[in-house]
Structure 1
């Protein structure tokens, strides 16, 4: 598949050098995500979850009994990344994986009682993260909306 061509002319970077690291949106997003992961690492330690495991649990707390491909789609993950993660969650007793009775190719992921109970322990995480961000809730909501729009635009142009 040929790469999409970008316009030849670009507006000058606001501070001069368009190739300066601090002028790169990608680096601002990347370094922010590193900081966000550091905060999550501390918050998730008590739940004994990694960040990706937490995301899987969020999907299942929203809707239990989801097939693997749906989880992959929700989290923008490949099956090869998700499968080992699901195995670890299953070994911990938080989820169970069962082949679909209607289509053997599909694996349905469901919460165990322990996995459902973990939701109660995780309820405080969003407010703790909000406190770490030190931003008003309306600014966080606006930022989330902007990032979703950015992601959709990038996906459309990838």
Structure 2
């Protein structure tokens, strides 16, 4: 199923990922195998290094598939804080779509903030979600993804 685990691989939590195209371009430049994991089929580049993985079943099946597959040589692209937490514990590199890397040092506060925001929304104190993606966030994402890949290649 998965390629040589000595090589870097990228896993995209794809259902609501706004930076799939950017990830494909960077992965192609470095010739990195990329898994696009989602609950339903979506169009991906016709490239042997990009594989669409459709998972079906309960709510967290895509997260579980990514978590079970990822190693400390891999990169996970996700906005899902709980998936990020699980993958950070496995020592994978985890990058949010706006260019923020989740690490041992910041994942605890990210989880706490997520819970606080969820509670505020539930109580009706807050509406809406995060700000939409803009060009600055896309640039930050691209820069950080490149930096992570370089670090893994050196390491």
TM-score by length of 1: 0.28
Q: Which is strand-richer, 1 or 2?
A: 2
Structure number with bigger Rg: 1
Q: Which is helix-richer, 1 or 2?
A: 1
